[in-house]
Amino acid sequence: MWLPALGVSKSTSQGMARIDGRYKRANIETISKDGQPVAQRAFPLPTRFSINLNKAQIPAAYLGSEYGVWIEDMRNYMEQCIVGLRFDPAPITLDITFGFRQLDPGILAQCGPGDGTWNPLSYLGDLRLDASNAVATVRHATMVFNTDYFQVNPTTPSLINWKNIFFRTAVHECMHAVGVGAVWNGPFRIITAFPFVILLSSTFAYNVIGTGNPTNPHFTAPNALSAWRETMQGQAGATGIPIENYGMSATTIMTQAGGTALAHWRAVPGGGSLTGIRDHQGRDLAAEVMCTWSSSFAPNAWVGKFTIASLRDIGYDVSYMPLEVGLWDYQTV
């Protein structure tokens, strides 16, 4: 019979722990003696979600540099936030085609479900449609970064800065790849306005998460809105989370929105100043990873509970445990 040593006890908890060099959701066993921790070990929690990265389009120089590590850091972070499907216990894998190449001037990256063009009607085969629950989750996504901005050996201050914030940018873009912004739906998503207005929701009745036309869209689905009310100062009575509307008219169609408006949390146009909307830790919305132009505040980047909750609203099972650790602590080099 095993008898514990006098004054020695073992406790088990769940939280984030470094396992093989990266923070993961874990069962944590702590051995204490006389009430003081003396040893600890952690085991990864089970998950039903994984990401498969197709790296064939990543040049060898990038794979062999810090970028190769940061891409894996991004994958690890997303695999901690999403743990499966909300309405289906079967395990799933998201396939992401990842690459670096020259894109059009001014385009940092092309990232989203399917080929990254952001029109659900063009990549229906890349979505997992759950008609009974009216949600659509992503099977395959594309993430391509512009080599004009993200260089292996940058020499100017601006390009050095872009490299230094790549991990944050990759998490931002991977949030789009799993559907944040990209598969949001509501009356603010217009397929065509002439000769009459046709809404995306009339032909694609999935992920209807908001209200308003393109000039004043709001995210009103229950999980993200509840988290917004809980965590943001002065927002306990909010009826919706403002969605970016920069440059929109009441009849702007999806293909003209440009990937910025209607796909992020709303910020001050251009990202030149703070929003004045803060969470209970004093962090301004302008630096939240899915806020428009949040790269301007990259050193202070954070992820809101409402952003992770918004994934639940579009059909994923999620964990808020990753919020125990600051975003930049998930970057390993």
pLDDT for the residue 4: 58
Decide: residue 310, CB within 10 A, 0-12 exposed, 13-18 middle, 19+ buried.
buried
Residues 281-288 have a mean pLDDT of: 99
Query: Chain-wide mean pLDDT for the chain?
Result: 96
Is residue 237 predicted with pLDDT exceeding 80? yes
Is residue 239 predicted with pLDDT exceeding 80? yes
**Which are the contacts of 35, defined by CB distance < 8 A and separation ≥ 6?**
none
pLDDT tens digits along 134-162: 999 999 999 999 999 999 999 999 999 99
Q: Rounded CA gap, 109 and 173, in Å? A: 8
Choice among 33-47, 103-117, 315-329 with the minimum mean pLDDT: 103-117
pLDDT for the residue 259: 84
Residues 51-69 have a mean pLDDT of: 99
Q: Across-strand partners of 99?
A: 57, 144
- Band (pLDDT 50/70/90 cuts) for residue 5 is low
**pTM score above 0.75:** yes
Which domains can be identified in the chain, with CATH numbers? 8-44 (no CATH), 47-182 (3.40.390), 184-313 (no CATH)
